[in-house]
Chain A
Amino acid sequence: MGIRVENLTKRFGSFVAVEDVTFDIPTGELVALLGPSGGGKSTILRIIAGLERADEGSVYLDDQRVDHLHPRARRVGFVFQHYALFRHMTVFENIAFGLQVQRMPKAKREARVRELLRIMGLEGLDDRYPSQLSGGQRQRVALARSLAPEPRLLLLDEPFGAVDAKVREELRRWLRRMHEQIHVTSIFVTHDQEEAFAVSDRVMIIHRGRLEQQGSPGEILDEPTNEFVARFVGEVNVFESLVRDGLAEIGPVRVPVKAIEDGPARLVVRCYDIRVWRAEQGVATVTRVMSFGDRVKVEATIDGGAGFVAIIPRRSNLLTGVEVGCRVDIEISHLRVYPAGSGA
């Protein structure tokens, strides 16, 4: 089932939490809402679920406008960040709750709960209480509970935020697998870009209540449409520069740029798109070299003051002789130019 959100706006007092957000998600897709905390992602999710009322705009599920519908009539699933399991009910009762209030016959209900317990790897835990489960188990119970009534849309609010790193990794892979099996249209909110890129088909970047960009992980990384997105995903360098005759100046360095008028501009360069190598003449001086497993971070200052970070594979020949205080040449293989003063 598809979902369409049109011109959604939500204010809390004078604070604009969501501003004119429009998007379309085709049936069966798994989409991530990615952005810094407090940017309005969760509010969008809560509006879609009916827990919050939008000041302007509409939500359509399967081409049916649902703005007037109570959450219980929308047939969506919702997984809360802190699980929100019913604490006085067992695992079994939690998962069965939605089926029970919707009056599914007992035998059918039990079969459905058993099936979910099996799919979620929760067998044998059915008469435990939520307080007797680990974080990862609780999250899976929450997911099973939301999936039990076969929702047409699954909403997950920072689903892995409250579990530790290792379990999170496992749950991610597992969510991806789940989605490939049942193909329910899903939206999940996260502030973790790795998580968004690892799990989703498509990523929407939300910042200060606005949808900044949407696209595949590759598109977001390589073609950020504005400076905020470029800076938010991945590690980047930002250079203040002056463009003259199609060349951007960073100190003594000249970089060809396209499609921008002469004048001040900002260059955003990913750390892995800068290469450095030792050169006695050089244009920059290395200030720090740090090793991180398979990669090495080289910090250097271009003559004239601009500092940058380059990330280079550890076994690369480029690193030969690169040490603190040495002179290096640089090459920028890929960059984005934004007019000065744009973005965040």
Chain B
Amino acid sequence: MAGTRRIGAWSRGTLFLFAAVVIYLAVLLLLPIAALVVQVAKTGLSSLFGQVFGGDALRALEMSLILAVIAAVVNGIFGVAAGIVFVRHKFMGRRVLDALSDMPLSVSPVMVGLAFLLIFGRGGWFTPILDLLHFKITFAFPGLVIATLFVTLPFTLREVSYVLLELGEEEEEAAAILGASPWQIFFRVTLPNIKNALAYGVTLTIARALGEFGAVLIIGGAISGKTQTGTTFINVAMEERRDAAAYGMALVLAVASVLLLLVLEALKKVEIKADEE
């Protein structure tokens, strides 16, 4: 077989490196998922899903999905718009803004949740105005949205910016000279060229939104049936010793992650195929 022959041709050093990488990945990635599956098998699948698809668990799952969709739409649009602004236009402070957009990748979500509490929470800067308008952000749905949008901000922007930079401006210039309006250029030239990057970025955004824990816990408070998401539900369920519910929710989220992973792989293949053409 081609595969075995190739391994046979490897040097000892390469073989060692290969083994090290495989073992590392197995311990870090496969073991936890296997543990989860074993646990689920012990408890029994039907009773687990009974725990998840009912009552507060289902509402938590719904909340996670709604937040993921909002993040995908808002940050998808923002990512494309900001990508075009940062890559295609030169203005003062562009680099600073561009670098700042990566901040959600580097700061801890818990800290972000705290920071938003300082702004919108009790005694916060905007609280008097919000109270006057009877608009509640912290420990309410808007807070969850803000937290999720923050942590998922850079993904689409990064993917789209990178591709826009690679593409260059010539196709857009050609379209302009041929008589296309800015909207025509965007929808007929730019968007088709970045659609794979956009899909990739949106998929990452959804994955990140589903997995977010710290920021939504701090700003939302994980109030059952109100501001609880899939991840914060697991936390509460563990504390309340509802193990089956926790494992069930974990499995549902894990399955969602695997599905998203498959989508990402498929998108990568499309990208490679497009490059080869």
Cα distance, A128 to B245, chains bound together (Å): 55
User: Which residues of A lie under 8 Å from residue B181 when comparing CB positions?
Assistant: 72, 101
Indicate if A317 sits at the interface (CB-CB under 8 A). no
User: Which residues of A lie under 8 Å from residue B176 when comparing CB positions?
Assistant: 51, 70-72
- Beyond known contacts A76-B177, A77-B177: 4 more, CB 8 A cutoff: A51-B173, A72-B181, A78-B177, A88-B192
The 3 nearest A-B residue pairs measured at CB: A98-B178, A84-B170, A131-B277
Per-residue CB contact flags for chain A residues 86-112 toward chain B (1 = under 8 Å, else 0) read 111000000001100110000000000
Indicate if A208 sits at the interface (CB-CB under 8 A). no
Per-residue CB contact flags for chain A residues 49-90 toward chain B (1 = under 8 Å, else 0) read 111000000000000000000111011111010101111100
Closest to B170 in A: A84
Cα distance, A87 to B171, chains bound together (Å): 9
9 contacts between A and B (CB under 8 A): A71-B177, A72-B181, A78-B173, A84-B173, A97-B178, A98-B179, A102-B179, A132-B277, A145-B178
Query: Are A82 and B170 within 8 A (Cβ)?
Result: yes
Distance from A29 Cβ to chain B, minimum over Cβ atoms (Å)? 21
Query: Are A51 and B179 within 8 A (Cβ)?
Result: no
User: Which residues of B lie under 8 Å from residue A82 when comparing CB positions?
Assistant: 170
Cα distance, A19 to B118, chains bound together (Å): 57
Query: Are A71 and B189 within 8 A (Cβ)?
Result: no
Distance from A30 Cβ to chain B, minimum over Cβ atoms (Å)? 19
Indicate if B193 sits at the interface (CB-CB under 8 A). yes
Cα distance, A148 to B192, chains bound together (Å): 22
Indicate if A149 sits at the interface (CB-CB under 8 A). yes
Per-residue CB contact flags for chain B residues 184-198 toward chain A (1 = under 8 Å, else 0) read 100011001100000
Indicate if A129 sits at the interface (CB-CB under 8 A). yes
Distance from A327 Cβ to chain B, minimum over Cβ atoms (Å)? 58
A86-B189, A101-B184, A129-B277 known; A80-B179 Cβ under 8 A: no
Query: Are A78 and B193 within 8 A (Cβ)?
Result: no
Cα distance, A129 to B275, chains bound together (Å): 12
User: Which residues of A lie under 8 Å from residue B192 when comparing CB positions?
Assistant: 88
Cα distance, A145 to B174, chains bound together (Å): 9
Interface residues of B in 134-177 (CB under 8 A from A): 170-171, 173-177
User: Which residues of A lie under 8 Å from residue B170 when comparing CB positions?
Assistant: 80, 82, 84
Indicate if B180 sits at the interface (CB-CB under 8 A). yes
Distance from A98 Cβ to chain B, minimum over Cβ atoms (Å)? 4
Query: Are B177 and A101 within 8 A (Cβ)?
Result: no
Distance from B183 Cβ to chain A, minimum over Cβ atoms (Å)? 10
Query: Are A78 and B179 within 8 A (Cβ)?
Result: no
Query: Are B174 and A84 within 8 A (Cβ)?
Result: yes
Interface residues of B in 50-92 (CB under 8 A from A): none
Query: Are B193 and A101 within 8 A (Cβ)?
Result: no
Closest to B184 in A: A101
User: Which residues of B lie under 8 Å from residue A84 when comparing CB positions?
Assistant: 170-171, 173-174
User: Which residues of A lie under 8 Å from residue B177 when comparing CB positions?
Assistant: 49-51, 71-72, 74, 76-78, 146
Query: Are B179 and A86 within 8 A (Cβ)?
Result: no
Looking at A77, A84, A132, the one whose CB has the most chain B CB atoms below 10 A away is: A84
A101 in complex: contacting residue of B171, B173, B180, B277, CB < 8 Å: B180
Cα distance, A75 to B277, chains bound together (Å): 32
Cα distance, A342 to B145, chains bound together (Å): 70
Query: Are A78 and B277 within 8 A (Cβ)?
Result: no
B173 in complex: contacting residue of A71, A77, A87, A102, CB < 8 Å: A71
Query: Are B277 and A86 within 8 A (Cβ)?
Result: no
A129-B277, A132-B277, A149-B179 known; A88-B193 Cβ under 8 A: yes
Distance from B169 Cβ to chain A, minimum over Cβ atoms (Å)? 9
Query: Are B174 and A101 within 8 A (Cβ)?
Result: no
Cα distance, A340 to B143, chains bound together (Å): 78
User: Which residues of A lie under 8 Å from residue B277 when comparing CB positions?
Assistant: 129, 131-132
Query: Are A72 and B180 within 8 A (Cβ)?
Result: yes
Distance from B49 Cβ to chain A, minimum over Cβ atoms (Å)? 43
Distance from B71 Cβ to chain A, minimum over Cβ atoms (Å)? 27
Cα distance, A78 to B175, chains bound together (Å): 10
A87-B193, A129-B277, A131-B277 known; A97-B173 Cβ under 8 A: no
Per-residue CB contact flags for chain A residues 119-150 toward chain B (1 = under 8 Å, else 0) read 00000000001011000000000000110110
Cα distance, A88 to B193, chains bound together (Å): 7
Distance from B227 Cβ to chain A, minimum over Cβ atoms (Å)? 43
Query: Are A72 and B174 within 8 A (Cβ)?
Result: no
Looking at A75, A77, A78, A102, the one whose CB has the most chain B CB atoms below 10 A away is: A78
Distance from A103 Cβ to chain B, minimum over Cβ atoms (Å)? 9
Looking at A71, A82, A85, A148, the one whose CB has the most chain B CB atoms below 10 A away is: A71
User: Which residues of B lie under 8 Å from residue A131 when comparing CB positions?
Assistant: 277
